[in-house]
Amino acid sequence: MTELPDLSGQVAIVTGGSRGLGRYCAEQLAGAGATVVIIGKDSQSVTKTAQELVAQDLDVVGFAADVSNYDQLSQVKSELGVLGNAQILICSAGVMADKFSKTLRASKAEWDRVLRTNLDGVFNSVSLFVPNMVDQGYGRVITISACLGRFTGPGLAGGLAPYRISKTAVTALTKNLAAELQFGAKNVLVDAACPGHIQTDMGGPQAPRTITEGADTVLWLATREQTNETGLLWEDRLRVDF
Ligand SMILES: NC(=O)c1ccc[n+]([C@@H]2O[C@H](COP(=O)([O-])OP(=O)(O)OC[C@H]3O[C@@H](n4cnc5c(N)ncnc54)[C@H](OP(=O)(O)O)[C@@H]3O)[C@@H](O)[C@H]2O)c1
């Protein structure tokens, strides 16, 4: 388990916070004292998760919204009021592509489904919640990328085209945004994390890594001191080439 500093007074927004990696991060951040807003697409699931976390005495609220739908996410921001002025944003919401979705086999509908959730969802989230971080001079933004989207190592080796390309683009969006924010000079750090293949609904029970292992880098990034070492892809707290 990752040792976290006292996060009392901080607000964290976690998309995909109803299940898997996002849920674990939400629980850990709330356990360290943060107020945590979890966002998921399925309203029953997000309500159930929020209730379970509140039952553990954690300060958590849940909202149902499809991250690919800018208007729905914008509505959540309005309903949040001051809680929309978050210090931490973790963009964990994501979907896997159909396993037969090689580029020339992927349907247009499958391409759109995955790109809209995995890429547009990150754009929508950062465009709504990061401007206030810039105004307040503090923010930690973590996007969840994947090794499959890298130009190096196991990435871009063919297959799962919508997923791989969505994650390549997420890493690119992350670096570009960090550059626009002058690589930490405004104390808003923007980084991508690759959790590795982890035991979640997406990763499956046979995945080699636990959620705790995959979340460690995400939580570390979410609570780092100011640095200019940002706009990068991280795995196990180490920079990886992309
Ligand atoms: N698992 C792995 O091995 C692995 C490896 C590398 C990267 N990743 C990345 O890590 C992130 C988390 O994955 P996970 O394994 O935790 O997946 P997961 O267990 O399937 O959970 C996915 C989460 O995303 C939410 N979500 C999906 N589509 C959404 C949408 N359109 N709007 C709002 N929320 C949505 C889900 O909520 P609903 O239930 O409401 O849909 C759920 O909370 C993803 O970005 C994934 O690509 C995972």
pLDDT in tens, the chain (242 residues): 889 999 999 999 999 999 999 999 999 999 999 999 999 999 999 999 999 999 999 999 999 999 999 999 999 999 999 999 999 999 999 999 999 999 999 999 999 999 999 999 999 999 999 999 999 999 999 999 999 999 998 899 999 999 999 999 999 999 999 999 999 999 999 999 999 999 999 999 999 999 999 999 999 999 999 999 999 999 999 999 99
Q: Which two tokens stand for residue 94?
A: 């994501």
Domain 11-239, CATH class in plain words: alpha beta
Ligand 1 center to 142 CA (angstroms) = 14
Q: Which two tokens stand for residue 30?
A: 């709330």
Residues serving a catalytic function are 163
- Give me the residue label for tokens 């996410």: 73
Q: Is the CB of 144 under 6 A from ligand 1?
A: yes
Q: Output the residue whose Cα is nearest ligand 1's atom 3.
A: 197
Q: How many residues does the chain have?
A: 242
Q: Output the residue whose Cα is nearest ligand 1's atom 11.
A: 92
Residues in a beta bridge with 188 = 139
Ligand 1 center to 40 CA (angstroms) = 9
Query: By CB neighbour count within 10 A (0-12 exposed, 13-18 middle, 19+ buried), where does 108 fall?
Result: exposed
Contact 189, 234 (CB under 8 A): no
Residue 213, number of CB atoms within 10 A of its CB: 15
Residues in a beta bridge with 60 = 36
Mind giving me the DSSP string for the chain? -------TT-EEEEETTTSHHHHHHHHHHHHTT-EEEEEES-HHHHHHHHHHHHHTT--EEEEE--TT-HHHHHHHHHHHGGGGS-SEEEE----PPPTT--TTT--HHHHHHHHIIIIIHHHHHHHHHHHHHHHHT-EEEEEE--GGG-SSTTTTSSS-HHHHHHHHHHHHHHHHHHHHTTTTTTSEEEEEE---SBSSTTT-TT-SB-HHHHHHHHHHHHTPPS-S--S-EEETTEE---
Q: Output the residue whose Cα is nearest ligand 1's atom 37.
A: 40
What pLDDT does residue 144 have?
Answer: 98
Please tell me the pTM assigned to this model.
0.98
What pLDDT does residue 197 have?
Answer: 97
Q: Is the CB of 22 under 6 A from ligand 1?
A: yes
**Residue (of 223, 93, 239) closest to 231 by Cα position:** 239
Q: Is the CB of 64 under 6 A from ligand 1?
A: no
Ligand 1 center to 216 CA (angstroms) = 17
Ligand 1 center to 135 CA (angstroms) = 29
Euclidean distance between CA atoms 223 and 8, whole angstroms:
12
Q: Which residues, in sequence order, are CB contacts of 135 under 8 Å at separation 6+?
A: none
Euclidean distance between CA atoms 201 and 45, whole angstroms:
13
Euclidean distance between CA atoms 2 and 187, whole angstroms:
22
Q: What is the CA radius of gyration of the chain?
A: 17
Q: Is the CB of 125 under 6 A from ligand 1?
A: no
